[in-house]
Amino acid sequence: MPEARREGGPGRGRYDQCRAGPVLGAALVYSVTEGVTATAAHLLARRGELDLDAPVAAYWPESAA
């Protein structure tokens, strides 16, 4: 397996995909928010307040361009 190369300066960057390495910076925040958003959408759907089969424009009219 090739040696991992680090891109970016200290405290940021990413490791290549050939070798597992820590996730730093904004990538970790985005990963957390995706789970929170999915959980919120699921709860709203269970309550009947969100229709998962409805087009996005039903909730966000500006997206229907």
What is the tens place of the pLDDT at every residue in 19-46? 566 655 666 566 778 889 999 999 999 9
**What pLDDT, on the 0 to 100 scale, is given for residue 2?**
44
Q: 14 to each of 6, 56, 60, how far by Cα in Å? A: 6, 33, 35
Element (H, E) at 33: helix 26-47
pLDDT for 32:
79
Structure tokens at 35: 């789970």
